[in-house]
Amino acid sequence: MRRFSWKRVLALVVAGAFPMVLGGGAPPGSAEGRTELIVNGGFDAGTSPWWWTSNVSAQVVDGRLCAEIPAGTTNSWDAIVGRSDITLRSGESYEFSFTASADQPVTIRANVQLADPPYTAEISQPVSLGGSQTYRYFFTSRADTQRASVQFQVGGSSVGWTFCVDDVSLKDGAEVPGYEPDTGPRVRVNQVGYLPDGPKRATLVTDAVRPLEWVLRDASGRAVADGRSTPRGVDEASGERVHTIDFSSVRRPGRGYTLTADGETSYPFAIASEVYESLRTDALQFFYIQRSGIPIDGALVGEEYARPAGHVGVPPNRGDIDVPCQEGVCDYRLDVRGGWYDAGDHGKYVVNGGIAAAQLLSTWERALHAGTGQTGPLDDGRLRVPERGNGVPDILDEARWEVEFLLRMQVPDGKPLAGMAHHKIHDREWTGMPMQPEDDPQPRELHPPSTAATLNLAAVAAQCARLFRPYDRAFAARCLAAAEKAWTAARADPDVYASETDSNGGGAYADTHLEDESYWAAAELYLTTGDPAYLDFLLTSPMHTADVFGPGGFSWQSVAALGRLDLATVPGRLPLAERRKARVSVVEAADRYLATQRSQAYGLPLPSNAEFYNWGSNSGILNNLVVIATAYDITGKQAYRDAVLEGIDYILGRNALNISYVTGYGTKSGQNQHSRIFA
């Protein structure tokens, strides 16, 4: 999936907006000479030129516009109060403010957006209403238009309610305030918790240069441990001066522990052997709620995530069952239903879906071959997916949903570039946010085939063939046939690249360095078939002797590590000497990551250089942890297990933002992700 195969990228500020709730004082950016773009924002002249949808009734009451909002609407945009024909200039900064109230607690959306399709929002701000309060937001426009609209999207409530608004203002020339995140207490911990027999470290942000006293307290406030912190100097990535606190000697299980140092007390956390039990299945659950072409069952995942099937041709949806190519690309249409939506949009990308499906397949395969016999948590009936109880491990059922889509993206026999895979399918134009899949009105298009996508298909389908053989021999044979056909096609056309500029309506995902994709595909085909031709390719590949484990983690654009990890862990095919080399390379990479982790006061296996904190950097951290965990499978050394646990601490709150990057886990977790489905 896009930018993170496990989808853990958080956009903490929506649409570049900086929110403030005012309690008095002069507003920032209040210099004279700014233009007010809202006519009659105080409703002194009645309701004109404001409008509202036909299911809303509104009038001026005590100098405010008050609207009766109907019960039983589903989406925020099902009921709207708005004002159109507003001019925005690209690159100009604006201040958007209003005073609003509701006669019961409710959340609306305050938008400045295009008035016409595709209704792109310059700011789309969730606003929690109750008593009368003034709200102020700032944004920089990306659009040049005379057809912008201010909209209060007030639908989505099961009961009727009254919305009142006044003093609506949109001014240009705003001085946008700097973003200062609310990072909470300066003692940063894993907000979910620690294993009793695992490492337990925290990071303290402080200007102190000498060790400081710390105290660990249980839920009753009783001190159970104390000690002195270790100064670590300035953390390069965050610019903070930090200390490390190590309380690993505490092993007593409990919940509601807190850590106090330098006058600050951490968010609460647990010490428990089952602390990650639900996280494992909830993380895997995300793939199901990203599925395309199937209703999402609220009985499995909660009614708040339930939705109709997307892109099955039910208006206004165009559907993925009979999709043409972009103009001039092909003369056929394909059924490319299914698969997972991208993390942020409604596109489906073979190179992103490939790495995501491979990691699900490898999770099962690693459980089979790690020597622990602990496949139970991944067995049939353990995940909340519609296929549970069918005799197939649930994680394979989930992976199959994506693999079936990848197979459908293959160019048919008798057509130019037969056997290759189309790079992606997505909307002709970008849609706005939020936008549920079933509401997407855009035409869908197949984009040109690429060698990168074709090699992804070859690798994933080959792995599918060996893992599904015990459960569905016909599907396994179909996967292998597609993999071999894709390999042959990619060898015949090794330099068909996706366009770097093909990014309207979806990401481009271009890649012109494909030695890693070829190495990965050959590795999977060899492990599945034992055909010496694939081994010969591997041994002569420049990736064979290369270090395939970079400091920033493997990704959709750098996949040789996927092949190396499987060569090191999947038994039965690779000559012993080559298997030993692969295993040594994994362990050496893990040792480098451990060295990096020890140098980081926040305990993550990622260098502190700014270049490594890019879009999706948490996926790089997690993928480095996969390498370290594989080294533990190979060696059984406790240091690798402990390193993985400490890396998870970073993801769950022990970081410079003091936020758990997994929504719903920890006291303060990520919200408002860059996602059309969940925005």
User: Which residues, including other chains, have CB under 8 Å from residue 15's CB and lie 6 or more apart?
Assistant: 121, 122, 123, 124, 125, 139, 433
* Residues 68-79 pLDDT 10s: 999 988 778 999
Average pLDDT on 14-33 reads: 39
Strand-pair partners of 421 = 410, 450
pLDDT given at position 137: 94
Q: How far is CA 446 from CA 203, 425, 489, in A?
A: 48, 5, 19
> Which residue would you say has higher pLDDT here, 397 or 430?
397
The distance of Cα 442 from the centroid of its chain, to the nearest Å, equals 23
> Which residue would you say has higher pLDDT here, 19 or 131?
131
pLDDT given at position 397: 96
Query: pTM of the full predicted structure?
Result: 0.78
Q: How far is CA 151 from CA 20, 49, 122, 514, in A?
A: 18, 13, 12, 47
Structure tokens at 379: 């067995």
With a cut of 90, say whether residue 56 has pLDDT above it. yes
pLDDT band at 372 (very low <50, low <70, confident <90, very high): low
Report d(CA 627, CA 561) in Å as an integer. Answer: 9
Report d(CA 194, CA 645) in Å as an integer. Answer: 8
pLDDT band at 58 (very low <50, low <70, confident <90, very high): very high
User: Which residues, including other chains, have CB under 8 Å from residue 38's CB and lie 6 or more apart?
Assistant: 83, 86, 150, 168, 169, 170
Report d(CA 294, CA 363) in Å as an integer. Answer: 24
Least confident of 243-252, 381-390, 542-551: 381-390
The distance of Cα 45 from the centroid of its chain, to the nearest Å, equals 46
User: Which residues, including other chains, have CB under 8 Å from residue 111's CB and lie 6 or more apart?
Assistant: 121, 123, 124, 125, 149, 150, 151, 152, 153
DSSP-derived 3-state class of residue 238: coil
* Residues 434-473 pLDDT 10s: 889 999 989 999 999 999 999 999 999 999 999 999 999 9
User: Which residues, including other chains, have CB under 8 Å from residue 533's CB and lie 6 or more apart?
Assistant: none
* Residues 89-143 pLDDT 10s: 999 999 999 999 999 878 899 999 999 988 889 999 888 888 999 999 999 999 9
pLDDT given at position 31: 45
Report d(CA 669, CA 663) in Å as an integer. Answer: 5
Report d(CA 34, CA 39) in Å as an integer. Answer: 14
DSSP-derived 3-state class of residue 77: helix
Contact (CB, 8 A) for 631 and 586 = yes
pLDDT band at 377 (very low <50, low <70, confident <90, very high): low
Q: With 0-12 CB in 10 A as exposed, 13-18 as middle and 19+ as buried, what is 308? A: middle
End-to-end CA gap in the chain: 17
pLDDT given at position 32: 53
With a cut of 70, say whether residue 27 has pLDDT above it. no
Q: How far is CA 347 from CA 225, 339, 352, 428, 463, in A?
A: 51, 10, 10, 10, 24
User: Which residues, including other chains, have CB under 8 Å from residue 32's CB and lie 6 or more apart?
Assistant: none
Q: How far is CA 525 from CA 169, 240, 491, 529, in A?
A: 62, 48, 14, 6
pLDDT band at 8 (very low <50, low <70, confident <90, very high): very low
pLDDT given at position 33: 61
Say how many residues make up the chain. 679
* Residues 142-152 pLDDT 10s: 999 999 999 99
pLDDT given at position 5: 31
> What is the percentage of the chain residues whose pLDDT exceeds 70?
94
Q: How far is CA 170 from CA 25, 40, 44, 126, 478, in A?
A: 19, 11, 17, 17, 58
pLDDT given at position 22: 38
Among 91, 118, 122, smallest CA distance to 109 is for 122
User: Which residues, including other chains, have CB under 8 Å from residue 221's CB and lie 6 or more apart?
Assistant: none
With a cut of 60, say whether residue 630 has pLDDT above it. yes
Mean model confidence pLDDT for the chain:
91
pLDDT band at 371 (very low <50, low <70, confident <90, very high): low
**H or E element in which residue 369 lies:** helix 350-369
Least confident of 256-260, 301-305, 586-590, 644-648: 301-305
> What is the percentage of the chain residues whose pLDDT exceeds 90?
81
Name the phi and psi angles at 397, rounded to 5.
-60, -45
Q: For 601-623, b where at least 16 C-beta lie within 10 A, e where not — what string?
A: bbbbbbbbeeebbeebbbbbbbb
Q: Are β-strands 193-194 and 269-271 bridged in parallel, bridged antiparallel, or unpaired?
A: parallel
Q: How far is CA 336 from CA 168, 173, 191, in A?
A: 46, 47, 41
* Residues 545-582 pLDDT 10s: 999 999 999 999 999 999 999 999 999 889 999 999 99
Contact (CB, 8 A) for 82 and 98 = no
Instruction: Output the 3-class SS for 42-75.
Output: CCCCCCCCCEECCCCEEEEECCEEEEEECCCCCC
Structure tokens at 208: 């102190």
Q: How far is CA 167 from CA 40, 51, 111, 141, in A?
A: 9, 16, 16, 22
Pinpoint the alpha helices (H) of 444-531: 451-468, 473-492, 515-529
Report d(CA 152, CA 165) in Å as an integer. Answer: 9
